[in-house]
Amino acid sequence: MLQAMTAQEVAQIVKNKQKLFILDVRNQNDFQDWKIEGENIQLLNIPYFDLLDGVEAVVGQLPTDRQVLVVCAKEGSSKFIAEQLVGAGRDEVFYLGGGMKTWSEHLEKVQVYEDENVKVYQFIRMGKGCLSYMLISGKEALVVDPSRFAAVYQQAAKEAGTTITHIVDSHLHADHISGGKRLAEMTGAAYYLMKSEGAVFDFQPLEAHERIAFEQVELEVLAVKTPGHTPGSVSFLVNDKLLFSGDTIFVGGLGRPDLGGKVREWAKDLYETVYGKLAKLADDVIVLPGHYAALDDELNPAGYIGAELGEIRDNNELMNDKEIGEFVDHVAAAQSETPPNFEEIVAINRGLQHSDEERQQELEIGPNRCALHHTA
């Protein structure tokens, strides 16, 4: 029987490491660049046009011990091929509702931390590798690095009985469009960003707000300037326990400093951040990054992306006993593929350019490429 499978259902399968077979009917280049991956996900790529004359040859390649999901860019091609598979006698065939577009946009909310002062949720954008956060304290909520899907955060705040009062962006994002400005306009919340990142719209400059007052409990949000990925990158230290590190430090690597065309200069800034400011933080500080590269490697047993700083230090050779010259040489040599459309995305995030919803979807398609993975 033919059925649609939602992006949320796929996310649960991936997160829970369940078995799934995916027949991806996009062209080979798109498949090689970006795909749904997971520990128990099997993949087969056969372009749609190669199946128009019949699917009989592929039926024998489909396993019988797991569900089969057909995937394409926007749904239509995968639904057609799935129908053909059902007609050829194959049971339990699904197609991805909305295609890879919906996979790119799905946010999976998980709780990552709670004490008497604060509760923290992580929003995992599995199709993009982006992470955002909501901190709830009393009746107020603070959102860190929001994606452009503002309604998701509004709904989460409503469910928690809170109001979004503060929004922070750790840096000017280059691989996805920030929802910070839009969310602030919709909620009336204060929006914070480093002035040095070059945004041209109104916001609260973090240069003037090293501490953010939050509710009436003892919650300290300390903006720690951590340049390297960008000159204005900031990490947020909450009560000396949680470090929202943006794209400065990841569970499996460091932020790439080459997107501004000044890789050696920015790599020196990154060195000073790693061996200066971050070196002063305790090993038991929990690092909550802005991106991840491999869910299987970076999803911890508690079900979220994050790790203690001491563990990250132990597993990352660039954070241990490196001279600045060696560090800069390593980082400069480790440059990887530039995020597609990053110049246009940066212009939009600065407020220099505007785009409609359809164009934003096009700009964001594909994986994140903001990290030096893996540096161990």
Same domain, 192 and 325: yes
pLDDT tens string 8-34: 999 999 999 999 999 999 999 999 989
Domain C-terminal end among 102, 119, 148? 102
pLDDT in the model for residue 104:
93
pLDDT in the model for residue 317:
87
pLDDT in the model for residue 117:
87
Domain C-terminal end among 68, 102, 136? 102
270's tokens: 């990154």
- CATH value at residue 88: 3.40.250.10
Domain C-terminal end among 66, 85, 102? 102
Q: Is residue 130 flagged as an active site residue?
A: no
Q: Is residue 188 part of a domain?
A: yes
Same domain, 64 and 179: no
Residue 364 pLDDT greater than 50, yes or no: yes
Same domain, 276 and 304: yes
170 pLDDT band (50/70/90 cuts)?
very high
Residue 262 pLDDT greater than 80, yes or no: no
Residue 205 pLDDT greater than 60, yes or no: yes
Weakest-pLDDT range from 80-84, 103-107, 112-116, 261-265: 261-265
Q: Is residue 363 part of a domain?
A: no
Residue 315 pLDDT greater than 70, yes or no: yes
Strand partners, 249: 254
> Rounded to whole angstroms, what are the CA distances from 302 to 112, 113, 168, 285, 345?
8, 10, 25, 16, 33
Q: Is residue 146 part of a domain?
A: yes
368 pLDDT band (50/70/90 cuts)?
low
98's tokens: 């909305």
- Domain of residue 53 covers 2-102
Same domain, 286 and 252: yes
Q: Going by C-beta distance under 8 Å and a sequence separation of 6 or more, which residues neighbour residue 220?
A: 211, 237, 238, 239, 240
pLDDT in the model for residue 254:
87
User: Are the beta carbons of 223 and 244 closer than 8 angstroms?
Assistant: no
> Rounded to whole angstroms, what are the CA distances from 24 to 10, 53, 136, 293, 295?
14, 17, 39, 21, 20
Pairwise CA distance, residues 155 & 350, whole Å? 26
Pairwise CA distance, residues 279 & 373, whole Å? 20
Q: Is residue 196 part of a domain?
A: yes
* 212-216 average pLDDT score: 74
Residue 65 pLDDT greater than 90, yes or no: no
Other CB atoms within 10 Å distance of the CB of residue 298 = 22
Residue 375 pLDDT greater than 50, yes or no: no
Per mean pLDDT, which of 109-113, 294-298, 324-328 is the most reliable? 109-113
Residue 149 pLDDT greater than 50, yes or no: yes
Of 308, 207, 304, 168, nearest to 249 (Cα)? Answer: 308
Residue 373 pLDDT greater than 60, yes or no: no
Active-site option among 11, 58, 71, 72:
72
Residue 374 pLDDT greater than 50, yes or no: no
Q: Is residue 6 part of a domain?
A: yes
The average confidence (pLDDT) of the chain is 89
Pairwise CA distance, residues 130 & 297, whole Å? 15
Residue 216 pLDDT greater than 60, yes or no: no
Residue 169 pLDDT greater than 70, yes or no: yes
Residue 66 pLDDT greater than 50, yes or no: yes
Residue 243 pLDDT greater than 90, yes or no: yes
pLDDT in the model for residue 228:
62
The total number of residues written for the chain in this structure: 376
Using DSSP's 3-state secondary structure scheme, residue 170 falls into coil
pLDDT in the model for residue 146:
97
337 pLDDT band (50/70/90 cuts)?
low
- Count how many domains the chain has: 2
Percent of the chain surpassing pLDDT 70: 92
CB pairs under 8 A, 24+ apart, for 36-44?
36/10, 36/71, 36/100, 36/103, 36/127, 37/294, 37/295, 37/296, 38/13, 38/14, 38/295, 38/296, 39/296, 41/13, 41/14, 42/66
Greater pLDDT, 367 or 297: 297
To the nearest 10 degrees (0 to 180), the angle between helices 150-160 and 180-187 is 50
pLDDT in the model for residue 376:
38
Pairwise CA distance, residues 97 & 5, whole Å? 6
User: Are the beta carbons of 224 and 237 closer than 8 angstroms?
Assistant: yes
Q: Is residue 321 part of a domain?
A: yes
pLDDT in the model for residue 218:
47
* 79-88 average pLDDT score: 94
pLDDT in the model for residue 92:
84
347 pLDDT band (50/70/90 cuts)?
very high
Same domain, 210 and 308: yes
Residue 370 pLDDT greater than 70, yes or no: no
Residue 300 pLDDT greater than 70, yes or no: yes
Same domain, 169 and 236: yes
Residue with tokens 């995968």: 78
How many whole angstroms from its chain centre is CA 59? 35
Residue 258 pLDDT greater than 80, yes or no: no
